[in-house]
Structure 1
Amino acid sequence: MNDLYERIKNKEDKVALIGLGYVGMPIAVAFAKKANVIGFDVNEEKVALYNEGIDPTKEVGDKAIKETTVEFTSDETKLQEAKFHIVAVPTPVTTDHTPDLNPVKSACKTVGQNLSNGSIIVFESTVYPGVTEEVCIPILEKESGLKCGKDFKVGYSPERINPGDKVHRLETIIKVVAGMDDEALENIAQVYELVADAGVYRAENIKVAEAAKVIENSQRDINIAFMNELSIIFNRLGINTKAVLEAAGTKWNFLNFSPGLVGGHCIGVDPYYLTYKAEQTGYHSQIILSGRRINDDMGKYVVNGLVKNLIKAEVPVKNAKVAILGFAFKENCPDTRNTRVIDIVEELKEFEIDPLICDPEADVQEAKDEYGITFTDLRELKNLDAVIVAVGHNQFLKLTQEDIDSMFKEAANENKVFVDIKGLFDKKAFETQGYRYCSL
């Protein structure tokens, strides 16, 4: 195993990526510039798109997919050709907010059945401390018949790719790496140094690296929860939250966070992995779970504000015509997994409002399969009582006030309710025109 890095660098051994989603696929494409890479995913339709030169994630773009030398496949036996395996499968939570390790366990089974002597397996999936050594190693050993530490080694390197972010990429982010021993750590660090231009950070051990990843997103979650709570308080006081944050932001050490919906497969999920493990030790989280409760309730809070404004505007709530702009979990990204916009949709239905949803960026098939949602074209949004801007896609930010005017019914302006969740538009301009404008 000592010279695995050299053999990969010289293209004598291959790197395999297991899981070709928003994280795994960009890693595969980056490594393919320096090594021979196999990209494996169980989703045959996704693999077919990659082989056609199409990037459904929009993370690297069609051109990069067409030009890459990655061998995209759903044939697991191809993994037998690789010695360095990177597992980048999702780690969601169940409906009761407990970790769902089934994708990781399934990946371990697949890798184990196709593992060769002298291999290294690195996990990138977000997990609670202990999963790599306590859950993954036993499966790899059972399926391969090989002994960890003797026949193969493992490591952990938390993914930090931010979906839709064209600045903070694999190449530009410091890569945290950890190995089960010094030899594994050095091999893993050297292999990642092939693509991590910002450098690598060698963590003390695997549990430290696992914990580092899970607290990165927990910290963001708590900070956003604080902003959401401030928004609730300031709205009750009749104070503009955005104006308060802009004023406070002039202090050099004030943290730049803003209120909003917290979804996706990281920030809204990772804290539950940490609190789950804490519960096993007998400690019940106080701050982390409080933040989660606030953030999980924001969809309901938005709808309550909308309904109050419809009543003030003397618009009948039942069957009100409402449009939601944006369904993806974040701006300029097609990913709808764990989007919290669905909370708004479901809460509106409690008031017998069936909203029209428009999202030119979101994955159409994913939204239909996961949520039963069918999108409406932006040009078809007419005769509305209310508009909710839920996601700040660039296409929405280009909308003028006249564009938004054209979406509403011909009525007095004070009857037009405009909910700009993240305060992306000019509050004063809309209020000057008589709109009932509200935001977090």
Structure 2
Amino acid sequence: MNIKDKKIAIIGLGYVGLPLAIEFGKKYKVLGFDINKDRIEELTFGRDRTNEADLAGLSHAMSLSNNGNVGLSFSHKVDDLTSCNVYIVTVPTPIDQFKAPDLTPLLKASEMIGKVLKTGDIVIYESTVYPGCTEEDCVPVLEKNSKLTYNLDFFCGYSPERINPGDKINTLTKIKKVTSGSTSEIAEVVDALYSSIIEAGTHKAPSLKVAEASKAIENAQRDVNISFVNELALIFDKMGIDTNDVIEAAGTKWNFLKYKPGLVGGHCIGVDPYYLAHKAESLGYYPQVILSGRRVNDNMGMFVANKLVKLLISKNHVISNSKSLILGITFKEDCPDIRNSKVIDIFRELQQFNMNVDVYDPHADKHEVKEEYGIDLVESISDKYDAIILAVSHKEFLELDIKAICASSNSIIYDIKSFLERSLVDARL
């Protein structure tokens, strides 16, 4: 199979799909597809609300579409997918309210692709899943809707996404890519396809399942490591010592890993371990370490809120109707992504104490925050507060005169990211 003959459809144009569409669009004929008509219109005019796209690269890839062999175009119409022969799926794979994998977007995308699938086509999944999901859950949907036979008429690949939102250094082409295929021949095709755009190179896994598992453990490992330092933070808080001071001291040893305590949210680290745990439990094994780490990390928002209340009480504040400000609602610094943000846990816990809570975030979209969390962001800081929590280390907060927005000299400043100058804050996580 000649990869130059491929016309690629990228299904889902979020943080993962759009950078992929841009890079492939520089070398192949690419159709960026999303069911969100507004998203397609925005991209067609060269705008990107996620701030992940290289806008110059986007413009360049789109300009090449006048050439019959390469270039990027966009569509929300399913019929436009029929001319493609490689489908790369980059839709979200969240968890539901019971922390179980929600495969709805993935299966709906598979159903849609199945209806346009042709003999010889390849479907590559990048969405994070548990090992075995591609062949056990997605392939039957493709077969049912296409009336074609897997590994006879059509083929699959799996290449886990490694996008790091907000990171302008470790971008798509600079991160080594794991690839795999449903047959040895297809594995070569998939690997060659990604090798043509990934400067850092590729690693060809021996099977789809191995590639799926590699993604699951990447983030589970980070989750467990962070849960360890979060648990240390809970212990050291009772001892009255600063966790970051301890980490700095321990970090003088060459093989100590300097993870920092904090909120663990987002679409990867706070979600992927549940996919791995779900698969393990379906096989009769209850994972101890993975889920204990998840419990620690999921409770950190509650700990922060309760610690703040204790600090306020220690300075003789009346908790009910006191005014607090949370700085940041996104799941990480300097990006607008609010998915699975654990800052919401702090907000809700403080509301349980009948506190008046404002949230300010210069990166988050106020409409998305309202729709997702029911919170009306303050557009500027014009009030004064009894308590201020720095929850996300956006660079803009370094320029904020934080003392000027304190209601009194007894106001509490709680820096859970250890981001501000230490002399300014009353407590750090």
**Shorter-chain TM band:** over 0.9
Structure 2 residue 38 is the aligned partner of structure 1 residue 49: no
SS in 2 for 1:121: strand
* Residue pairs, 1:272-283, within 5 angstroms: 272-283=274-285
Matched with 1:407 is 405
Q: Quote how far apart the aligned CAs of 1:397 are.
A: 2.4
Partner Cα separation in structure 2 for residue 376 and residue 61 of structure 1: 29
- Give the counterpart of 2:188 among 183, 186, 193: 186
Matched residue type, 1:19: G
- Give the counterpart of 2:418 among 419, 423, 427: 423
SS in 2 for 1:352: coil
Q: Which moved more, 1:289-298 or 1:58-67?
A: 58-67
| TM-score, length basis structure 2 | 0.96
- Cα-to-partner distance string for 1:305-350 (whole Å, 9 max, x where unaligned): 1000111111110111100000001101101110000101110111
Q: In 2 relative to 1, CA 311–210 (structure 1 residues): closer, same or farther, beyond 3 Å?
A: same
- Give the counterpart of 1:15 among 8, 12, 24: 8
**Runs of 4+ deviating beyond 4 Å:** none
Partner Cα separation in structure 2 for residue 96 and residue 287 of structure 1: 19
- Equivalent residues of 1:54, 1:65 under 8 A apart: no
Matched residue type, 2:178: V
- Equivalent residues of 1:54, 1:61 under 8 A apart: no
Partner Cα separation in structure 1 for residue 164 and residue 78 of structure 2: 28
Structure 2 residue 211 is the aligned partner of structure 1 residue 209: yes
Partner Cα separation in structure 2 for residue 61 and residue 236 of structure 1: 46
* Residue pairs, 1:270-419, within 5 angstroms: 270-380=272-382, 382-399=383-400, 403-409=401-407, 411=408, 413=409, 415-419=410-414
Partner Cα separation in structure 2 for residue 91 and residue 58 of structure 1: 21
- Equivalent residues of 2:130, 2:216 under 8 A apart: yes
Q: Quote how far apart the aligned CAs of 1:63 are.
A: 4.1
**Unmatched segments (≥5 aa) in structure 2:** 63-71
SS in 2 for 1:179: coil
Matched with 2:68 is none
- Cα-to-partner distance string for 1:386-433 (whole Å, 9 max, x where unaligned): 10000001111233xxx1111011x3x2x1100100111122x22xxx
Q: Quote how far apart the aligned CAs of 1:66 are.
A: 3.6
Structure 2 residue 123 is the aligned partner of structure 1 residue 121: yes
Partner Cα separation in structure 2 for residue 319 and residue 64 of structure 1: 50
Q: Quote how far apart the aligned CAs of 1:167 are.
A: 1.4
Q: Which moved more, 1:246-255 or 1:264-273?
A: 246-255
| TM-score, length basis structure 1 | 0.94
Partner Cα separation in structure 1 for residue 36 and residue 129 of structure 2: 22
RMSD between superposed Cα atoms in Å:
1.1
Q: Quote how far apart the aligned CAs of 1:30 are.
A: 1.1
Partner Cα separation in structure 2 for residue 173 and residue 137 of structure 1: 28
Matched with 1:439 is 428
* Residue pairs, 1:55-66, within 5 angstroms: 55-66=48-59
- Equivalent residues of 2:4, 2:28 under 8 A apart: no
Matched with 2:17 is 24
Partner Cα separation in structure 1 for residue 91 and residue 175 of structure 2: 20
Matched residue type, 2:97: T
Partner Cα separation in structure 2 for residue 417 and residue 216 of structure 1: 37
**Unmatched segments (≥5 aa) in structure 1:** 9-13
Partner Cα separation in structure 2 for residue 354 and residue 220 of structure 1: 34
- Cα-to-partner distance string for 1:132-184 (whole Å, 9 max, x where unaligned): 00111111111111111111100100001111111111101110001111111
- Equivalent residues of 1:52, 1:66 under 8 A apart: no
Q: Quote how far apart the aligned CAs of 1:61 are.
A: 4.6
Matched with 1:11 is none
- Equivalent residues of 1:55, 1:65 under 8 A apart: no
Q: Quote how far apart the aligned CAs of 1:384 are.
A: 0.7
Partner Cα separation in structure 2 for residue 158 and residue 31 of structure 1: 16
Partner Cα separation in structure 1 for residue 57 and residue 307 of structure 2: 44
Partner Cα separation in structure 1 for residue 55 and residue 180 of structure 2: 33
- Cα-to-partner distance string for 1:46-87 (whole Å, 9 max, x where unaligned): 111111211010002544434432211111111111111100
Matched residue type, 1:360: P
- Cα-to-partner distance string for 1:343-378 (whole Å, 9 max, x where unaligned): 011101110113110000012221111111111133
Partner Cα separation in structure 1 for residue 192 and residue 420 of structure 2: 47
Matched residue type, 2:348: E
Q: Quote how far apart the aligned CAs of 1:243 are.
A: 1.0
SS in 2 for 1:310: helix
Partner Cα separation in structure 2 for residue 42 and residue 313 of structure 1: 52
Structure 2 residue 258 is the aligned partner of structure 1 residue 253: no
SS in 1 for 2:107: helix
Partner Cα separation in structure 2 for residue 335 and residue 142 of structure 1: 35
Matched with 1:236 is 238
Matched residue type, 1:306: L
Q: In 2 relative to 1, CA 346–18 (structure 1 residues): closer, same or farther, beyond 3 Å?
A: same
- Equivalent residues of 2:155, 2:186 under 8 A apart: yes
